[in-house]
C-alpha cells in the first residue's frame, strides 16, 4: 500500500452504552487501535498514515475531546480502558495491535494489562501514568503556557515543518500542535485532579504479554524518560528506544526516525539501530 492509499480515511461513530465515539479508519491489514494523547484526535496526520501503511488503523476520539466535557461515567484512566474494550467489541475487533501516545499511552498500558491476549503488539510513545520518586511527571494543572511549551517541545521558536511540497516555517507557540496540546492539557488536568500517576501501574504492567516497543523523546520534560526505563524493566517483552532532540511528541519532532522504529516493529523487521536508539532490548527467546 502506498502513502496515497493510507491517507484515505472514512469517518464513522460507534455506540458504547450511552456514549457515541467518533473514529477515523484507514489503511489495510491487521487491525490497529490508536489512542491519541495531548495532540488530540481530530486529524489524520502523517503518523496515522505511517501506521496505515501496515495496518487497518482505528483512531477513536476519546470521550471528553475536544470540548472538555468528560462524561459522568468516566472518572479515571481505567474507565477509559473499559470504554475502549467496549469500542473494540462494537466495531467487531477481537484482536488488534495497540499504539498509544501520551495520555493515550497510559490508557494503552491499562488495556494491554487488562486483556493481554487481545493485544499481541503494543507501542507506547511517552506515556503518562508512571509514579516515580525523584523523577515525577509535570503537574499539568499548575503549568502556564510558557512552562508547558518549554516542557513539551525541544524547539520552541520558529521551526521548519515538512509538508507535501518541501517545508513550511511555523512558530511553535502559535501553531496548531501547541494549541491542541495546551487544550488537551486542561482536559487531562481536570480529569486527573491531583492524581498525576498510578502507583500501581508498574505492577499492572508486569501482566502485559505483548511484544512491546516503548518510544521516548529523550528531552521530554513533561514525562521524564526514566519512566520509560521503569516500564521497560516491568514489561516482560519490552524494548526501549530513546530519541534525541525530541520532547513529548517524538513523532512530530523526529518524524522519520519515529516512523521507522514503529513501522519496523509492527512489521517484525530487524531494527536498523545504527543511531544507537535502542537502549534496552527484550530478553532472548528461551
Query: What CATH number did the domain enclosing 230 receive?
Result: 3.40.50.1820
In a domain, 180, yes or no: no
* pLDDT value of position 3: 64
In a domain, 147, yes or no: no
pTM: 0.92
**Ranges assigned E (strand) in the chain:** 9-16, 19-27, 30-35, 55-60, 97-101, 121-125, 129-130, 158-163, 166-171, 197-198, 211-217, 238-243, 278-280
**Unique residue bearing C-alpha cell 526505563:** 229
Neighbours of 275 (CB within 10 A): 12
How many independent structural domains does the chain possess?
A: 1
113: left (phi over 0), alpha (psi -120 to 50) or beta: alpha
* pLDDT value of position 227: 97
In a domain, 116, yes or no: yes
Nearest to 151 by CA among 137, 162, 161: 137
In a domain, 188, yes or no: no
* pLDDT value of position 195: 84
* pLDDT value of position 174: 74
Domain membership of residue 264 as a residue range: 3-137+195-280
Euclidean distance between CA atoms 265 and 250, whole angstroms: 16
Q: Is the bond into 76 cis (omega within 30 degrees of 0)? A: no
In a domain, 179, yes or no: no
In a domain, 189, yes or no: no
| CA-based max dimension of the chain | 52
Euclidean distance between CA atoms 125 and 191, whole angstroms: 21
In a domain, 158, yes or no: no
Low-confidence ranges of the chain (pLDDT < 50): 158-160, 163-166, 169, 274, 286
* pLDDT value of position 97: 98
In a domain, 247, yes or no: yes
Euclidean distance between CA atoms 63 and 41, whole angstroms: 10
8 A C-beta contact, residue 13 and residue 33: no
8 A C-beta contact, residue 90 and residue 26: no
* pLDDT value of position 286: 41
Amino acid at each position: 500500500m502506498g502513502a496515497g492509499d493510507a491517507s484515505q480515511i472514512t469517518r464513522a461513530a460507534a455506540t458504547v452504552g450511552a456514549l457515541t465515539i467518533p473514529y477515523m479508519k484507514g489503511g489495510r491489514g491487521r487491525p490497529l487501535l490508536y489512542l491519541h494523547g495531548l495532540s488530540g484526535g481530530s486529524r489524520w496526520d502523517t503518523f496515522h498514515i505511517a501506521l496505515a501503511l501496515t495496518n487497518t488503523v482505528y483512531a477513536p476520539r476519546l470521550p471528553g475531546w475536544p470540548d472538555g466535557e468528560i462524561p459522568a461515567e468516566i472518572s479515571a484512566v481505567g474507565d477509559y480502558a473499559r470504554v475502549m474494550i467496549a469500542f473494540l467489541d462494537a466495531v467487531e475487533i477481537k484482536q488488534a495491535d495497540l499504539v498509544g501516545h501520551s495520555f493515550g499511552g497510559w490508557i494503552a498500558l491499562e488495556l494491554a494489562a487488562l486483556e493481554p491476549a487481545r493485544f499481541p503488539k503494543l507501542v507506547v510513545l511517552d506515556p503518562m501514568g508512571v509514579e516515580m520518586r525523584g523523577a515525577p511527571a509535570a503537574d499539568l494543572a499548575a503549568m502556564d503556557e510558557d512552562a508547558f511549551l518549554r516542557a513539551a517541545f525541544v524547539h520552541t521558536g520558529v521551526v521548519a515543518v515538512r509538508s507535501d511540497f518541501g517545508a513550511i516555517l511555523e512558530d511553535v507557540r502559535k501553531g496548531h500542535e501547541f494549541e491542541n496540546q495546551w487544550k488537551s492539557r486542561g482536559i487531562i488536568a481536570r480529569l486527573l485532579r491531583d492524581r498525576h500517576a498510578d502507583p500501581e501501574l508498574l505492577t499492572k504492567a508486569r501482566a502485559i504479554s505483548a511484544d512491546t516497543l516503548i518510544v521516548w523523546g529523550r528531552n521530554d520534560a513533561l514525562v521524564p524518560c526514566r519512566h520509560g526505563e521503569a516500564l521497560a524493566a516491568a514489561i516482560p517483552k519490552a524494548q526501549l528506544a530513546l530519541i534525541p532532540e525530541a520532547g513529548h511528541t517524538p513523532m512530530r519532532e523526529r518524524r522519520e526516525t519515529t516512523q521507522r522504529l514503529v513501522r519496523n516493529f509492527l512489521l517484525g523487521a530487524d531494527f536498523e539501530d545504527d543511531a544507537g536508539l535502542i537502549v534496552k532490548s527484550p530478553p532472548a527467546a528461551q
